[in-house]
Every structure is written in C-alpha cells, then in structure tokens.
C-alpha cells in the first residue's frame, strides 16, 4: 500500500493529540505514529461536555461505551439548558432531538405558532429529549428508531486523555515523553525535527500540532496569523472549579446560565460537578468573576478555582506545509455549545480522508481543507453568536452591546431569512442542523414576522389535536423511562 507520509509526529497528548494518534494509527497502518508530550507541562484538563458526533469516533474505533463511562466518570448528555439568556428567570432547552417536519403544511413549529395555545407549553415539550432532560430521565433511542434523538456525554477531561492514550498505544502509536525546546525547519518552510530538552531529536515527515493554546508549530514556529472573533464573542477568560455533587444531582444535560459579563457551566460527572465561569475581562474583573462562580456552586468547591485565558478565533490556515493543527493549537470557540472536540474530530477526519489514498495531497486539496475548516469555525461562531444577539437583557453592558452588535454577514443573512420567510437556511457543513437553530430561535422568542399560508391547509382543530397528542405522548413515554442516575448505574454495572 502506498504511504503519503512514513513518519507522522503528533505534538501534544491532550484530547486532540490522543484522538489524532488513534485515528492515524488505525487509518494509516503503513506509517509510524509517534506522539510527543510533556507530563511536566500537562494538558488543559477542561472540556467536559461533548457533542453526539463523539459517539461516531468511539464506534469507529471500537471504544466500548461502558468502559469509557467508567474510566472517565462519565454521564449522559441530552443537550443544554440555557438559563437567563433571553431574560432573567427564563430558561429553555437545546437538545439533540428534532421537531419533525420543518416545512410545508405539517411544519411543526409553524402549526405551534399558528395554534398559539398557552396550554401547550413551550415548543420544547414537542421534542422528546428536551422532555427527558427536563425530567432528569435517560434511555438511549430504541433500536428500531436509532435516529429518534441523539445524545453525547460529560466526562473528566484529564481522565479522557489517559483513557485514549491506552487505546492509542494498543493500536500501534508510540509515546515519547519530553519537552520540545526547538523546532527545526526545512528549506521549504515546513518542519523537519523537534529537539527535546534532554537533547533527543524527533524527526518526521508530517507533524500534527496538538500542543494546545501555545500552538508550538502552527503559531510559534510557522507564525500562522490568528483570525480573532472577539469583536463578536468577547469572552476571553474562564474560571473552572469542581464541586461536590448536591442540588439537582445527575442531570442528563449541561446547564449554561447567563450572568452579568458572561455565563457559567454546570456539568454533572458521576463523582463531582464541573463548574466554570466564562467571562469577558473587558466587562468584569477576574476577582468578581471568581466570586460569582463560587456563589453559584451547589456544594463545596473541591479545589481552588483555576483561571484560563484565551482569544476566540482560529489560525488563518489549519494545514501549512507539513504541519496540521488540531484542537486548541488551531483555534478556540467559547465552550457554550461544547464544540471543541467536535472541531478536532472534523479536522482529523478530513485530514485522514486526504492521507488515506497514499499520495501527498495536492496544494489544491490542502487549500480546500483550510477553506472547509474555516467555514466550520465560522458557522459554529454564528450559531454561538445567535444565543447572545437575540437577548432581551439590557441589565449590563455586555448584554446591551451584544443586543446591538453588528453581526457577521453570514449570520445577518440567516436571521433575515428566518424572520422574513421562516426559512432555516442551511448551507452544508453547518456543524448544527436546522433543528438546533430552531431550538435557539424558539427559546429566545425570535419568531418569523408572518405565517406561511400553507399552514392553513391543516384544519385548526386537527393541528391543535396533533400538538396536544404529541406533547402528551412524549410526557407518557418519558415518565416510563429510568432516571439518568438509575440508567447510568445500570450501564456501569453491566460489563463488570
């Protein structure tokens, strides 16, 4: 079998590095995959909520769900509950479920709006996993309807990297411990070798930069410029702290609560709660942000809060010469919709697609890779901005600025299309599907200005009855499901 790159070197052993090592060692058995990491530097160790696509990675690499949950103190995630984003006191769900037909006379949200019956409750009661999340219940979709809804996980990011490491080593990847102190370049600008602190040298043909925020190869060595999104997404710091489990317990969802100058996350793991406050330092000082986080904890903090600093955006190019950036080294979007690991996976899969044929990808293919990754970052950026720009809050400067900001053209267009025509305009490579956009529009009370005349083809009483039945059916189905806690205990025991 022809080989595109004989020696592949992965720099960094966080989630990105070990996912890359597993993917590359599996897909390219003719290449060597060597991962260099430094225990002394460590990994970022946050990133505890995921997106359903991670299950595809696990399935592809035969990673058993119960093994994974046990090893990482994992729990199930049906989506996110947003609190105080539209107005203080208001909440809504964005879960990984759909709202059936989104067009034509049977359009579910259209009929819901037309019927306009307060007794129906929020639109989310028409979405099965949202009802499950609100009731604290969990069961996977039935085998005969695997796409009825989807789910993801919460886990301890430190444990996950270690868990992936064990798998990668079994699949043939090698690990080299050591701090990289110098990056030696080739005449054409690419990377040739890495020099370690103790004098050893690691040479390679292709380098995957998973070195985290420091961006050792793509940023520092190759000086690839950074595209800064902070004019739209100004948060640039996070305090993170684990706490003892108490309060609502093992909710099968993340909670994201909007505060004065940012938002907090609450992520339930099987042994503790992960908490964080993501905030914009131009609107609040670090100390006040820390206090606001500690005031929100359900139980006592289990460690001192840790401060992380970042700039939202991405490297202009992700693949430059023989260096491909994955994970934080290539860019970062605030973790409101848990998309970082999703972006790692997207980049990894697209890269493997280009390497698998066994020839070095042509310049046009690399340019296309870079365009594709830029597009995914921009589309997810737009989706995250949507949560802020629709706010009705005016109680602090952050929210006043978010409500009046000039939007990226791509988002402006989508908002216009939705408001004027009820079209959830999707362009491919979105990251989030139409149903996710609908969940945020509905949750934030942003509806189209006029109804589609097609909706009237369904008699009013028929529409009302169908919506009532659907809501009651889901309520009954969910009432019969186990609690998340009980389901998790069962699955954890199952393979013992």
Tell me which residues are annotated as active site.
77
Q: Which is nearer to ligand FAD, 238 or 284 (CB)?
A: 238
- For residues 5 and 321, is the Cβ–Cβ distance under 8 A? no
Packing angle of the helix pair 53-60, 340-355 (nearest 10 deg): 40
Which candidate, 298, 250, 243, 284, places its Cα nearest to that of 396?
284
Contacting ligand FAD (CB under 6 A), which of 110, 234, 268, 335? 335
Select the span of 2-10, 121-129, 325-333, 365-373 touching ligand FAD (CB under 6 A).
Answer: 325-333
- To ligand FAD, the closest distance from the beta carbon of 359 in angstroms equals 28
- For residues 267 and 273, is the Cβ–Cβ distance under 8 A? yes
Binding of residue 308 to ligand FAD (CB under 6 A): yes
Contacting ligand FAD (CB under 6 A), which of 42, 104, 189, 249? 42
Select the span of 69-77, 212-220, 225-233, 468-476 touching ligand FAD (CB under 6 A).
Answer: 212-220
Binding of residue 211 to ligand FAD (CB under 6 A): yes
Cα distances (Å, whole numbers) of residue 427 to 306, 382, 384, 414, 496: 39, 13, 17, 10, 45
Binding of residue 204 to ligand FAD (CB under 6 A): no
Binding of residue 16 to ligand FAD (CB under 6 A): yes
Binding of residue 73 to ligand FAD (CB under 6 A): no
Binding of residue 328 to ligand FAD (CB under 6 A): yes
Q: Which is nearer to ligand FAD, 38 or 130 (CB)?
A: 38
- To ligand FAD, the closest distance from the beta carbon of 298 in angstroms equals 18
Helix (H) or strand (E) holding 20, with range, is helix 15-27
**Burial bucket for residue 302 (CB in 10 Å: 0-12, 13-18, 19+):** middle
Cα distances (Å, whole numbers) of residue 110 to 129, 279, 430, 470: 20, 36, 23, 15
- To ligand FAD, the closest distance from the beta carbon of 453 in angstroms equals 42
Q: Which is nearer to ligand FAD, 69 or 458 (CB)?
A: 69
Annotated binding site: 13-16, 77, 328, 337, 341
| Beta sheet of 319-320, edge-to-edge order | 174-177, 32-37, 7-11, 206-209, 323-325, 319-320
SS3 content of the chain, % helix, strand, coil (to 5): 40, 20, 40
Q: Which is nearer to ligand FAD, 48 or 260 (CB)?
A: 48
Identify the bridge partners of residue 470 per DSSP, sorted by sequence position: none
Binding of residue 327 to ligand FAD (CB under 6 A): yes
- To ligand FAD, the closest distance from the beta carbon of 466 in angstroms equals 37
Binding of residue 120 to ligand FAD (CB under 6 A): no
- For residues 193 and 178, is the Cβ–Cβ distance under 8 A? no
Contacting ligand FAD (CB under 6 A), which of 23, 47, 190, 268? 47
Binding of residue 238 to ligand FAD (CB under 6 A): yes
Q: And the tokens for 381? A: 């950026």
Contacting ligand FAD (CB under 6 A), which of 5, 14, 127, 206? 14
Binding of residue 182 to ligand FAD (CB under 6 A): no
Considering just the CA atoms, what is the radius of gyration of the chain in Å?
23
CB within 8 Å of 314: residues ≥ 6 apart:
226, 227, 229, 330, 331, 332, 373, 374, 377
- To ligand FAD, the closest distance from the beta carbon of 83 in angstroms equals 17
Site for ligand FAD in 257-296 (CB under 6 A): 276
Cα distances (Å, whole numbers) of residue 104 to 6, 194, 405, 453: 53, 58, 33, 9
In this chain, which residue has its C-beta nearest to ligand FAD?
14
- To ligand FAD, the closest distance from the beta carbon of 273 in angstroms equals 13
Q: Which is nearer to ligand FAD, 190 or 276 (CB)?
A: 276
Binding of residue 216 to ligand FAD (CB under 6 A): yes
Cα distances (Å, whole numbers) of residue 51 to 54, 208, 344, 353: 6, 23, 11, 21
Binding of residue 22 to ligand FAD (CB under 6 A): no
Residues binding ligand FAD: number (CB under 6 A): 38
Q: And the tokens for 495? A: 């393979």
- For residues 231 and 330, is the Cβ–Cβ distance under 8 A? no
- The C-alpha atoms of residue 69 and residue 50 are separated, in whole angstroms, by 13
Binding of residue 338 to ligand FAD (CB under 6 A): yes
Binding site for ligand FAD (CB under 6 A): 12-17, 36-38, 41-44, 46-50, 157, 179-180, 210-212, 214, 216, 238, 240, 276, 308, 310, 327-329, 335, 338, 340-341
């Amino acid at each position: 079998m022809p080989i595109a790159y004989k020696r592949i070197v992965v720099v960094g052993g966080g989630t990105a590095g070990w996912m890359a090592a597993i993917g590359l060692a599996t897909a390219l058995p003719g290449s060597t995959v060597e991962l260099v990491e430094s225990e002394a530097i460590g990994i970022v160790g946050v990133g505890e909520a995921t997106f359903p696509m991670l299950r595809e990675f696990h399935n592809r690499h035969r990673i058993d769900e119960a093994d994974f949950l046990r090893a990482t103190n994992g729990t199930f995630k049906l989506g996110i509950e947003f609190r105080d984003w539209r107005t203080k006191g208001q909440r809504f769900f964005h879960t990984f479920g759909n709202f059936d037909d989104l067009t034509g006379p049977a359009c579910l949200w259209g009929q819901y709006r037309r019927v306009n019956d307060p007794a129906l409750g929020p639109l989310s009661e028409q979405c099965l996993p949202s009802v499950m999340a609100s009731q604290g219940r969990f069961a996977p979709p039935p085998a005969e309807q695997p796409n009825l809804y989807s789910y993801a996980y919460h886990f301890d990011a430190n444990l996950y990297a270690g868990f992936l490491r064990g798998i990668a080593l079994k699949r043939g990847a090698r690990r080299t411990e050591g701090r990289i102190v110098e990056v030696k370049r080739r005449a054409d600008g690419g990377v040739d070798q890495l020099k370690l602190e103790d004098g050893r040298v690691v040479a390679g043909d292709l380098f995957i930069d998973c070195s985290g925020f420091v961006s050792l190869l793509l940023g520092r060595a190759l000086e690839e410029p950074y595209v800064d999104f902070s004019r739209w997404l100004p948060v640039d710091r996070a305090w993170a702290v684990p706490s003892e489990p108490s309060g609502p317990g093992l909710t099968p969802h993340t909670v994201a609560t909007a505060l004065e100058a940012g938002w907090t996350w609450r992520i339930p793991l099987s042994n503790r709660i992960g908490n964080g406050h993501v905030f914009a330092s131009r609107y609040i000082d670090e100390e006040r942000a820390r206090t606001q986080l500690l005031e929100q904890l359900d139980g006592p903090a289990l460690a001192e809060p840790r401060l992380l600093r970042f700039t939202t955006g991405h490297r202009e190019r992700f693949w430059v010469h023989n260096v491909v950036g994955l994970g934080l080294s290539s860019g970062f979007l605030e973790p409101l919709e848990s998309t970082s690991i999703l972006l790692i996976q997207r980049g990894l899969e697209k890269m493997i697609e280009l390497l698998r044929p066994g020839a070095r990808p042509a310049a046009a293919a690399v340019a296309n890779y870079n365009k594709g990754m830029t597009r995914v970052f921009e589309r997810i950026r737009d989706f995250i901005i949507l949560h802020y720009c629709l706010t009705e809050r005016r109680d602090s400067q952050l929210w006043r600025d978010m409500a009046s900001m000039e939007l990226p053209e791509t988002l402006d267009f989508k908002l216009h299309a939705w408001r004027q025509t009820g079209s959830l305009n999707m362009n491919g490579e979105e990251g989030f599907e139409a149903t996710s956009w609908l969940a945020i529009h509905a949750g934030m009370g942003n509806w189209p200005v006029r109804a589609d005349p097609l909706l009237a083809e369904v008699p009013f009483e028929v529409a009302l009855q169908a919506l009532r039945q659907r809501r009651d059916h889901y309520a009954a189905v969910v009432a019969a499901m186990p609690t998340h806690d009980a389901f998790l205990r069962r699955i954890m025991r199952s393979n013992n």
